[in-house]
Amino acid sequence: MLMALLLSTVLALPTGTIEGSISPTEKFKPSKPIQVAVFSGDYLNLYLSEVQQRIDNYWENYRGVFIENKEAFLVFRDRAQRQAMESTLNQMRRDDPLHYSHFSQTITGNTFVFREVPQGECKVVALITVGNQEFVWSQSVILAEKSPAFVALKPTNP
Given pLDDT bands bounded at 50, 70 and 90, which one contains residue 64?
very high
In a domain, 131, yes or no: yes
pLDDT tens digit sequence for 101-118: 899 999 988 899 999 999
In a domain, 132, yes or no: yes
In a domain, 38, yes or no: yes
What pLDDT, on a 0 to 100 scale, did the predictor assign at position 3? 46
In a domain, 10, yes or no: no
Angular region, 144: left φ>0, alpha ψ -120 to 50, beta rest: alpha
**Domain count of the chain?**
1
**Which range of residues forms the domain containing residue 114?**
15-153
Task: Mention every residue, 6+ apart, whose C-beta is less than 8 A from residue 151.
Answer: 18, 19, 20, 21, 124, 139, 141
Handedness of CA 21, 27, 29, 34 (dihedral sign): negative
Task: Identify the DSSP state of 109.
Answer: S
In a domain, 9, yes or no: no
